[in-house]
Chains A and B, each alone.
Chain A
Amino acid sequence: MTEPPTENAVALRAVGLGRRFGDRWAVRAIDLEVHRGEVLGLLGPNGAGKTTTVRLLTALIEPTEGTAAVDGFDVRTQADEVRARVGILTETPGLYDKLSARTNLDFFGRLYGLDAATRAERIEHHLRLFGLWDRRDEVTGTFSKGMKQKLAIARALLHDPSVVFLDEPTAALDPEAAFIVRESIETLRKAGRTIVLATHNLDEADRLCDRIAFVRAGLVRVDSPAALRGALGARSLAIRLASSPSPDALAALRRLDGIDTVEAVDGVLRVRASEPESIAPAVVRSLVSAGGDIVEVRVDRTSLEQIYFDVMGVHPGADGIEALDGGEAPV
């Protein structure tokens, strides 16, 4: 069992955080802790309140209720201290197109109070890190979307923030640009950065996040992808055979420990179990000893998409229309 995190290990904490616009709550009752070096995904549909949550946690807007703190600094009463400790990639890069990559970063370095030597050193470091050093003196208006997004990430890191917020970093990017940006985030993750990644891209969240917070006008559930699959997703072994298994082979399989169900569909045996990896060797031995010719064995995991639908209470209808189970309407 893992030790509970110490106070110093918590980079960001929110308690009962909520924000109302007019009569409508955009998000409410958010309780959250992000530990140092952790990548937390905020996953939810458009309008679920992800951007509002990011803005609340970065002291860009004030909460209507509840509190949040970064490195122990309160977003409401110590907003300047919070802003100095967070870096944010906004939904759009928001660069100054008529200025060069270097001048864009230099401007933000000055805003964060970095001295000239530190600015020069960090600008070079980050431009090299994201492969933009050779284009440093070109105006950013000539950059591709992927390059702009990488430069915006570099801008978010320039002042060495405790927590980096990435709001929809690959939205509206073509697959190549999105790949480049995901690689950049992977680099940050490996460097031990604390990251909050707001996205509606399930694959992105699955690949990059240590934990995923499902957001829909509040936090619906927070857990690691593995734990979500363990708790919500049935897992199975899929075994493709050269020919249909005999009834004796199936009966022998059902007698093995740790197996929930066995069914054969279209030449594929599906063996459901809570820990399919651990029962796989016994299943293979049993089938081979019963004369089965095995072509392929694989562990099937429930997709994050299915888990997402389950957690969010979304059931895509037969004619493609989504139905929402209860909860507040997305804002």
Chain B
Amino acid sequence: MRAAIVWTILRREWMETLRNRLLLSTILVPPVLLTVAPIILAGAVGERTLPADLARQILSQKPEWVSFTPSELAGAFAVQQFLVFFLLMPAYIPLSIATFSIIGEKQARSLEPVLAAPIRTVELLAGKAIAALVPGVLAGWVTYVAFVLLASVVYGRALFGVVTDGSWLAGVFLLGPAVGLSSVVAGVIVSARVNDPRVAQQIGGVVIVPIVGLVLVQATGTLLVGPAGYVLLTLIVLVVSLVGLRIGVRLFDREAILTRWR
């Protein structure tokens, strides 16, 4: 694989993304909301405390929170829910970019001249995949950093420690990119079969279902996933993504694109 060709593809992808206002708004608005929403939630929670049973259940899973005051515990529990939302960004942003990119090229019939050049399809796929993956992962990371800075100001030192513990770091920096990869793979596979980016996003959005499941499990307080859990989830998502990638590479074959993509 030639890096110069991959970079050429990636560069053009980003130039087009920057000129697509709809896609740009899809990428930029949610991170802003995700940074601000926890701050608003903190205000809403205020001095409230958790029911005693729930507090006991949480402390059994998170003994390091035992020194928290009842209101800090409530805040920590509320803020903990937001970790999974930081996984949604690397999930839906790459999906949006990949589907817009591939289906856009199908509709404009612009892939044939590209494939007529001395380029390998794996280089084309790599360029598109990286162009889709990087903004999603970066958005997740940048939003997280902004969120941490705000959290340290708004919530104080106790909750700052919560959002920078091993679970958060493993979730944002390991599981996030893995989820992003699975999202790109889903985007490639679905885009090969449908001709409307919105339909592709709805179908490809199936990758978000496990994340929503994680939200629900955490919200009930029955299972707060720790660092090891996030590492395990990362490995599972990577394995699933690599299997999907093999399917995606086959669908992205030069002849398949020219003769079967309609």
**Which residue of chain A has the shortest Cβ distance to B117 in the bound complex?**
A111
Inter-chain contacts of B118 with A (CB < 8 A): 80-81, 83-84, 111-113
Q: In the bound complex, do residue A111 and residue B20 qualify as a contact, i.e. CB atoms below 8 Å apart?
A: no
Are B112 and A60 touching (Cβ within 8 A)? Answer: yes
- Report the contact-size class of chain B (Cβ under 8 Å from the partner): 20 to 34
B193 in contact (CB, < 8 A): no
B113 within 8 A of A: yes
Within 8 A of A (CB), among B185-219: none
Q: Which residue of the partner chain, among B20, B113, B254, contacts A88 with CB atoms under 8 Å?
A: B113
User: Does A60 lie within 8 Å of B108, measured CB to CB?
Assistant: no
A24 touches B (CB below 8 Å): no
Chain A contacts of B258 at CB under 8 A? 55, 60-61
Q: Which residues on A sit within 8 Å (CB–CB) of B110?
A: 94-96
State A87–B135 Cα separation when bound (angstroms): 34
Nearest-Cβ distance from residue B121 to partner chain A, whole angstroms: 11
Contact B254 A60 (CB under 8 A): yes
Instruction: Kindly list chain B residues whose C-beta atoms are within 8 Å of the C-beta of A88.
Output: 112-113, 116
Asked whether any CB of chain A lies closer than 8 Å to the CB of B16, the reply is yes
Q: Is the CB of B20 within 8 A of A98?
A: yes
Q: Which of B5, B19, B116 has the most CB of A within 10 A?
A: B116
Are B112 and A94 in touch, CB under 8 angstroms? Answer: yes
* Chain A residues near B115 (CB-CB < 8 A): 60
Whether the pair A86, B15 counts as a contact (CB closer than 8 A) is: no
The chain A residue with its CB closest to the CB of B112 is A90
Given contacts A98-B20, A110-B8, contact A91 B109 (CB under 8 A): yes
Q: Known pairs A99-B15, A111-B5. 14 more at Cβ < 8 A?
A: A61-B259, A80-B120, A81-B118, A83-B117, A84-B118, A91-B109, A94-B113, A95-B108, A96-B12, A96-B108, A98-B19, A107-B8, A108-B117, A113-B4
Q: Interface of B with A (CB < 8 Å)?
A: 4-5, 8, 12, 15-16, 19-20, 108-120, 254-255, 258-259
Shortest Cβ-Cβ A-B pairs, 4 listed: A94-B110, A98-B19, A111-B117, A92-B109
A sample of 14 inter-chain contacts (CB < 8 A) reads: A21-B259, A60-B116, A60-B254, A60-B258, A61-B255, A61-B258, A80-B120, A94-B109, A97-B108, A98-B15, A108-B113, A110-B8, A111-B114, A156-B113
